[in-house]
Structure 1
Amino acid sequence: MNRSRVIPKSPPLRLHLRRNALPFPFGSPHTSLTRNGRFAIREGLRALGLPKGAKVLLPAWHCGSEADAVLAAGMKISLYRLQQDLSADLDDIRRQLQGGAVAAVYAIHYFGYPQPLRELQALAREHGAAVIEDVALGLFSCTPDGASLGGQGDMSVFSLVKTLPLPDGGALWLRRPCCKATDRLTAMPLRPALAGLKGVLRRGIAAPRPVADAPAHLLEAWHPRAGISETDMGGRISPFSRILLRMADSGKVRAAHRANFKTLQDNVPRHAGMHSLMPDLPAGACPAFFPLFTRNADRVHAALHAENIQSVRFWRQFHHAVDLASHPEAEALKRSVLRLPVHPGLRPQDLQRICAVLHQII
């Protein structure tokens, strides 16, 4: 194995001159493109007309940027529990809905694995709450019966950059058309737009850079750049991303993500506290990444980086406005999940090398 080759965490840019038709949410008149998923959440909550000060139920395990967007929209956060398979705990959601003052239930389709939307919608309708779908980790995903993931609730949000080689990009879909959903947003500043484009072009032209040594300690404090301020209006997608998005081939992307995910799922170690976080890949799911659970996340992450394999400590930061003290399972996930790449730029020998290094570590 060539250990000198860097295995990148993000997909390389491969230009296709012909324009490709993209599946949902693209092409829908109810979809607006934003700078990232955070802006989509904030503007979507405003477009739904939800009352200020009401609660949005978030799953206990979440990134934190969702919380920033909810707060920026003038709403409050309450957490609900997840089952062991990361499906929503419907009993906990029912209890909180019965308590009143809940305006929306926020469901994250982790890595394109569908949440029980039919049951969630029934609960929400019974108590006059909206259902929000987060498909940031599963762009181009479908349910096992073929329905596009994100088209069942009142609102859905997507992150384009997690799956596609774009400098920026999010999407907001609303069931009820709202032509002014993102009208108040302004163009993102030119400097970060150009910096993002430069990074994407570098991935497509230059060889990935060697991975730096992992830091000795991990910062868990929430970083302001990971969030969104109430006054920040620079939330439109850049023209660079609009152009590159037209060249994406969703069929090839979906096929590569699914195949690479399955390879890792079948070959990563399943002992010594290490295993795939998710069960078998359901039909239609298009995971943005592969989630690896390990009790020794710090050591495994450092060992992967030492072998020039770019892993990421997934959702490691703790948001200052979210108290996870009563959700130890969510705290454990924040400290125990690594993100491995499954993008189309990986070769079979890259996947073999990732699994070999993981077996050596344990």
Structure 2
Amino acid sequence: MYVHHAPYFRPTWFSAREVGIPEWLTDGRWVPPGEFGLYTHARTGLAAALSDRGVGDGVALVPSYAPPSVVGLLHREFGLRVEYFPVRGDLTVPTDAAVDLIRRREPAVVVLIHYLGFETGDVDDVAAAADAVGAVLVEDCARGLFSRRADGSLLGSVGDVATFSLRKTLPVPNGGLVVAPGTRLPSPDAEAREASALVRSLFVAAQERLDSPAPSIPLRKPIAATTKHATALWQLTSTSRTGAGPGPASRADSTADHRVPARRPGRVSRLGLLRCRPAEIVAARRARYRDLRERLESLDCLSVLTPPLADGTCPYGVGVRPLGAVSADALWTALRERGLPAEMLGWALGPDVPRPDCLGAAALRRSLLVLPTHQQLPPASAPRTAEAIRRIVAERR
């Protein structure tokens, strides 16, 4: 069996004719209100939003478990001193500790990550503390598109800037959505070249048809919108510090080698976005998550980290930590060799980036295994994954 770990573009879609802009991108039921831009990568839009707000000095407070793309952007491109607040082993943030640190350090930027589509901590308390010291609050919803908070509002509705990685939820090779009320997000001139993405989609589709037990894909370890906004989407958004946008000058010794060209998604991505039906995607992800989580909870070889589904949550996947003799790395390798979907979010930070000295981050980088529950998974994926884990662990005991 081969199951791809993420939604992917179906090659047959490429023959379709583009027709307008996806309605859901301008629908407040699916995207938080405010000015927004669409990029190949969300970090490009984040740089644009922070530049427009004049960020360029001071401290950035970031969760101790954070991706290097975010930490590197703040440290290298904006010259901010990165400091960390705690993240527990179950991917939750102790809000009191974060708020206390905000009050003491008075940062320029605060980043709050909603891990795997679940609301992290008390966003309102963090937002109030950030606002009191004049900090820009960034809600990183990379894996939280269409997901909602306990009060029913969308993830990303509270912060000054919200970022979403569309390719982690939708069948597109590129797509970073940035929502930033009151912020100017100008449009990149260049469009991403996506011919290679189309070739990869053909390869993945062939693997699924073959139903191969051992994929030949090389394993790679992880080291309210308005009409006027919609009109600009296909011409699209930002220049930022990676182009010719406004904002404080970058430090010449730290940014030249880390710039990401500002581009908008290409035709493959646009066709993929037009195929998306948010309500169907949410329903499918919730059903797959519920099924897989229940099966994994019955295994004594795993600790399930992500919670049962709450109303409105659009989950990315089930987060687990292997127990006993089998490491997350070994379990990941064994699952991928069987063609089953699994990810490790190691998020290794570069040598020139400040490192957290605390707080569960090292354990999460080493032991968190994510079992995706995306909408293109076949019904047989959940029982096969659970049974494969049981057998893999039994063989190594």
Residue 99 of structure 2 is aligned to residue 94 of structure 1: yes
Counterparts of residues 285-304 of structure 1 (less than 5 Å): 285-295=313-323, 296-304=327-335
Alpha-carbon spacing, 1:316–1:230, altered in 2? closer, same or farther (3 Å):
closer
Match of 2:150 among 133, 144, 152: 144
3-state SS of paired residue (1:348): coil
On the 8 A contact 1:187/1:238 being kept in 2, the answer is no
Q: Deviations over 1:45-81 (max 9, x none)?
A: 112222x122221101112111122232333311111
Counterpart AA for 2:306: M
Amino acid at match of 1:357: A
1:42 corresponds to which residue?
Answer: 47
- 8 Å contact 1:257–1:342 — kept in the other structure? yes
Distance of 1:66 and 1:205 partners within structure 2: 34
On the 8 A contact 1:167/1:199 being kept in 2, the answer is no
Amino acid at match of 1:151: S
| 1:187 equivalenced with 2:190 (yes/no) | yes
Does the residue aligned with 2:380 lie in a helix, a strand or coil?
Answer: helix
CA 1:338–1:198 in 2, change beyond 3 Å: closer, same or farther? same
- The question of whether the paired residues in 2 share the 8 Å contact of 1:108 and 1:134 is answered with yes
User: Which runs of at least 4 in structure 1 moved beyond 6 Å after TM superposition?
Assistant: 16-19
Distance, in Å, in 2 between the alignment partners of 1:219 and 1:26 is 29
Q: For 1:200-250, what per-residue CA distance to the aligned partner results, in whole angstroms no more than 9, with x for missing partners?
A: 3544566367435987x9684xxxxxx995443333322431232122111
1:268 paired with 2:271, answer no
List aligned pairs for 1:220-235, cutoff 5 A: 220=223, 229-235=257-263
Q: Distance in 2 between matches of 1:353 and 1:31?
A: 40
Deviation at 1:311?
1.7
Normalising to structure 2: TM-score of the pair?
Answer: 0.78
Please state whether the residue corresponding to 1:99 is helix, strand or coil: helix
Aligned to 1:56: 60
Other-structure match for 1:236: 264
Q: Is the 8 A contact 1:169 1:238 kept in 2?
A: no
Measure, in 1, the Cα distance between the counterparts of 2:298 and 2:70: 31
The residue aligned with 2:286 is 258
Within the candidate set 315, 334, 357, 2:388 is matched to: 357
Alignment-mate amino acid for residue 131 of structure 2: R
Shift of 1:319: 3.2
Q: 2:23 aligns with which of 9, 21, 24?
A: 21
Q: Does 1:82 align with 2:87?
A: yes
- Equivalent in the alignment of 1:65: 69
Aligned mates of 1:219, 1:255 — CA distance in 2: 28
| SS of alignment partner, residue 161 of structure 1 | helix
Separation in structure 2 between the aligned mates of residue 27 and residue 337 of structure 1, nearest angstrom: 29
Residue 131 of structure 1 pairs with residue 137 of structure 2: yes
**Residue in structure 1 matched with residue 227 of structure 2 by the alignment:** none
Q: 1:187 to 1:175 in 2, by over 3 A?
A: same
Contact preservation (8 Å) 2:332, 2:344: yes
How far apart are 1:280 and its partner, in Å?
1.4
> How far 1:189 sits from its partner (Å)?
5.1
Give the stretch that moved more between structures: 300-309 or 8-17.
8-17
Secondary structure of the 1:339 match is strand
Letter in 2 for 1:194: A
Call closer, same or farther: CA 1:67–1:256 in 2, change over 3 Å: same
How far apart, CA to CA, are the structure 1 residues paired with 2:256 and 2:372?
Answer: 26
- Give the residue type in structure 1 aligned to 2:199: K
TM-score scaled by length of structure 1: 0.84
Contact 1:56 1:75 in 2 (8 A): yes
What SS does structure 2 have at the residue aligned with 1:275?
strand
Which residue does 1:30 correspond to in 2?
35
Structure 2 CA distance for aligned equivalents of residues 85 and 79 of structure 1: 17
Per-residue CA deviations over 1:249-300 (Å, capped at 9, x if unaligned) read 1111111111111111111155655122212122111122332222511221
- Distance change (3 Å), C-alpha of 1:239 and 1:171: same
Question: Residues 100, 337 of structure 1: CA spacing in aligned structure 2 closer, same or farther, 3 A cutoff?
Answer: closer
Separation (CA, whole Å) in 2 of partners of 1:259 and 1:229: 43
Q: 1:341 aligns with which of 353, 363, 372?
A: 372
Residue in structure 2 matched with residue 223 of structure 1 by the alignment: none
Change beyond 3 A, Cα 1:166–1:172: same
Kindly indicate whether the alpha-carbon contact (under 8 Å) linking 2:149 and 2:312 is maintained by their aligned counterparts in 1.
yes
Summarize the Cα distance change of 1:246–1:32 in structure 2 as closer, same or farther, 3 Å threshold: same
Contact (CA 8 Å) 1:141, 1:284: kept in 2 or not? Answer: yes
Distance 1:197 1:234, change over 3 A: farther
Q: Which runs of 5+ in 1 are unaligned?
A: 221-226
